[in-house]
């Protein structure tokens, strides 16, 4: 899914959605997997994603970040996600609070994922 062109020349944000094991759908903005983005993340659910040869997105890791620096994603998480082949961050910013972000992480979590990336 993609947004239509923004008003007044603002570029459109690339959007997609993930469906959790519960069947709930989570709309995400698609961003490059880069360290500066982590510094500005704020409160969100972040999904590290790699693309298969056909361009299909594959979830590598999912985590929640909070507003304080202590709660933000660590550079270690980012490095591990990259090592697993992640090249994109899919960011869900519509969760109301920490409890909802944690519930979404659990809903999206991959069964056999590396615990260090959880």
Are the beta carbons of 89 and 49 closer than 8 angstroms? yes
The confidence score (pLDDT) of residue 20 equals 96
pLDDT digits (tens, 9 = 90+) for 63-99: 988 776 556 667 788 888 999 999 999 999 999 999 9
pLDDT digits (tens, 9 = 90+) for 18-50: 999 999 999 999 988 775 556 667 789 999 999
- What ranges in 7-84 are assigned the alpha helix state H? 35-39, 75-83
The ranges assigned to domains in the chain are 28-117
Q: Which residues of 5-21 are buried (b: 16+ CB within 10 A; e: fewer)?
A: eeeeeeeeeeebebebe
pLDDT at 112 over 80: no
For residue 19, give the nearest of 73, 59, 65, 60 by alpha carbon.
59
């Amino acid at each position: 899914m993609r947004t239509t062109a923004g008003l007044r020349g603002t570029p459109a944000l690339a959007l997609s959605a993930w469906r959790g094991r519960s069947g709930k759908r989570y709309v995400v903005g698609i961003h490059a997997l880069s360290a500066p983005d982590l510094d500005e993340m704020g409160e969100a659910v972040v999904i590290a994603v790699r693309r298969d040869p056909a361009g299909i997105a594959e979830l590598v890791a999912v985590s929640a970040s909070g507003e304080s620096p202590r709660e933000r994603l660590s550079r270690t998480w980012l490095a591990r996600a990259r090592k697993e082949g992640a090249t994109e961050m899919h960011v869900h910013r519509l969760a109301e609070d920490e409890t909802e972000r944690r519930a979404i992480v659990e809903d999206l979590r991959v069964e056999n994922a590396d615990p260090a990336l959880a």
